[in-house]
Amino acid sequence: MLATITSLKIIAKLYIMQCMNCINVCYTDYHPIFALSDIRTNKDLFDIVLYCTQMEGIAVYSSLNRRLSEYGLNDEDYRVLLNQEELIPRLQEFFELTNELRNSPVRPMKSGDYEILDAMSGRSMRLWYIAGAYIAKTIDSYFGRKELIDTIIGGPKSYFASYEKIPLKTRIF
């Protein structure tokens, strides 16, 4: 019996992972993936951070309800997403980094600029996964699923514009 339960949990996790990968494939059908060699300026880096935040955030958010129903919350992204004490510092870091990039004068990339990618996607912070899922969840809760889906078609600028239309009293940042 225990082996069967363990097998079912593994199958459920694989199913969820494949659903997330399908979300990414659909997203890149609307918005072709970039190459790291395309990053020539800090503005390019900013655009890629927004792109990945939307793509990965929606993928993480898309499996939240399934994970809740099947006890699949041992993944750090979901643990943080559902715990405000852990979520708020991650969101703060994400918005500080993205606002710094947004407000910086356009200039060629320097070697240290790439470190932001580690904060955004690395195992320690996973900012674009967690912040992106929070943004998707907030858009979905406030405007509804159609608006969230429309941002997939519209791209990162649409995604962040929808989020910024939500009153501050309704969202954390």
For the beta carbon of residue 124, count every other beta carbon within 10 angstroms. 8
Q: For 120-141, what is each residue's pLDDT tens digit?
A: 999 889 999 999 999 999 999 9
Task: Check residue 33 and give its pLDDT.
Answer: 86
Burial class (CB in 10 A: 0-12, 13-18, 19+), 57: buried
Entry pTM: 0.87
- In the block, tokens 């659909």 appear at 26
Burial class (CB in 10 A: 0-12, 13-18, 19+), 86: middle
Question: 27 is in which domain, residue-wise?
Answer: 2-170
Give the 3-state secondary structure of the chain. CHHHHHHHHHHHHHHHHHHHHHHHHHHHHHCCCCCHHHCCEHHHHHHHHHHHHHHHHHHHHHCHHHHHHCCCCCCHHHHHHCCHHHHHHHHHHHHHHHHHHHHCCCCECCHHHHHHHHHHHCCCCCHHHHHHHHHHHHHHHHHCHHHHHHHHHHCHHHHHHHHHHCCHHHCCC
Look at residue 104 and tell me whether its pLDDT is greater than 80.
yes
Query: How does the average pLDDT of the chain come out, rounded?
Result: 88
Whole-number percent of the chain with pLDDT over 70: 84
Task: Check residue 60 and give its pLDDT.
Answer: 92
Q: For 41-95, what is each residue's pLDDT tens digit?
A: 999 999 999 999 999 999 999 988 887 877 666 788 999 999 999 999 999 999 9
Question: Confidence band (pLDDT; 50, 70, 90) for 118?
Answer: very high
Angstrom distance (rounded) from CA 63 to CA 94: 22
Say how many domains are in the chain. 1
